[in-house]
Homo-oligomer: A and B are copies of this chain.
Amino acid sequence: MPIEPNYFQQYQHADIDELADVIGELLQNPITVEDADHKLIAYSSHGESTDEARWSTIMGRRVPEKVLTRLWKDGVFQELLTQDDPVHIPAKDEIGLGKRVAIAIRRGSDVLGYIWAQEVNRPITREDDEILRQAARVAVSRLIQRQGKRKAEEQRRKEFLWELLLGNHSSEAVIRQKADSLQMQLPTSYLICIIEAAGARLDQYLYPLLMRDKLLWVVDGSQIILLIGLSDTKKDKSDVLIRKVEQFLSDSLGKLEAHVTEGCQVIAGYGRDYKSYTDIVKSYREALHALKIKKLFPQENEGIHGYHELGIYRYLLQLKQWEEEQGYQNERLEKLRQYDRENQTTLLTTLETFLDAAGKVNKTAERLHIHINTLSYRLRRIEEIMRVDLDNMNQRAALYLELKIAKLDGEQ
């Protein structure tokens, strides 16, 4: 294994612009250095020919949105964020992006920025990777200061989000003002989403996704709390936002479940969407509620994350509390339970399966692995014992509710 030369020994104290030039000379190609937010930091100043993407980046002092979107979509950033080596990117003519190589500038797990090397004068090969690796290492100290400021800003934004979540601000105007002062642009429509995974470094695993969508987030114990929003859309906004959240969740849950240790589960829930930022407390509470219900009824709410999708489960805790206050106990259910105990039958399970299957005998019998006539016999017995009419929607719905409420007590 040959010892690689130390390309940047004599430039340890050069400033970032000079560094860009040096890299450019080493690779004989145009160089761009960006921070983690894709704002332009430096670029090599030789008058080489360049592509539209680089030109726009330099003119706008930031990488154009459509380029970023495309690179996220193609998984380029995912690669950059998770590995130390340079990533070779083929040309993408539709967005005016020529062939190039990029590497992340990182300290520990934090990504401070990126170095981009366009391939126009000569191809950049695997042999050049070491140059870029060293360049990224040298660039770190140059970006730390900037990063420090960014971190502090982000810290203040996170604190602001906590204030919003806890409802410390009562006036919409004050909130908007503070957001402005923190240079945040609040989405016109938003909701709160929580992902929980015990024992996993949530923010680390989700980092690429969080960056991609530029989300505002805070970590609370084993939960990560996200503010997800939409800024522009005019109509059907609710649907679009929810689709975006579901997309985000399917991305992140997939990723997390791969990383997380076997035993502990990953769950997520989100509240309803609002426009006023005084309502953020509501959305947060709703997300917490959804999470709680998903823990209590995992099977029943599999694949469901939104508070608005909880259906009757939304009411259960409240109703249970009310029933306790009223000193109500359900005699009919108790009767069935007793019958089951005395006769070693499973009528309660039968009833629950039947109700869960929305009264479809076929599906119920199948799930219980019993003959359809057995089911019909059992249902008749249930009606006799409980003195209910299962054809009556009121009674059916009431039973359904009471059954699920009873499950909350672990009465099974």
Contact = CB atoms under 8 A, between A and B. Distances in A.
B312 A358 contact: no
A315 B394 CA distance: 12
Contact of A355 (B312, B393, B400): B393
A2 interface: no
Interface centre among A300, A319, A394 (most CB of B within 10 A): A394
Nearest to A400: B397
Given A282-B327, A358-B359, A401 B397 contact: yes
Interface centre among A319, A393, A400 (most CB of B within 10 A): A393
Given A318-B322, A358-B392, A397 B331 contact: no
A144 B347 CA distance: 62
Interface string A181-221: 00000000000000000000000000000000000000000
B311 A394 contact: yes
A356 interface: yes
Interface in A233-277: 238
A391 interface: yes
Given A238-B331, A282-B327, A331-B238, A393 B356 contact: yes
A358 B393 contact: yes
Given A238-B331, A318-B322, A322-B318, A312 B359 contact: no
Contacts of A393: 355-359, 400
Contact of A401 (B312, B327, B355): B312
Interface in A298-324: 300, 308, 310-315, 318-319, 322
For this chain, the copies found in one complex come to 2
A322 B312 CA distance: 14
A137 interface: no
Contact of A312 (B282, B318, B397): B397
A1 B197 CA distance: 102
A338 interface: no
Contacts of A357: 393
A396 interface: yes
A91 interface: no
Nearest to A399: B311
A395 interface: yes
A394 B331 contact: no
Contacts of A318: 318-319, 322
Interface of A: 238, 282, 300, 308, 310-315, 318-319, 322, 326-327, 331, 355-360, 391-398, 400-401
Given A311-B395, A360-B391, 19 more contacts: A282-B326, A311-B397, A312-B394, A312-B398, A312-B401, A313-B394, A314-B398, A315-B319, A315-B322, A355-B393, A356-B393, A358-B359, A358-B391, A358-B393, A359-B359, A359-B393, A397-B397, A397-B400, A397-B401
Q: Which 9 A-B pairs have the closest CB atoms?
A: A311-B398, A311-B394, A358-B393, A397-B397, A312-B398, A312-B397, A397-B400, A311-B395, A318-B322
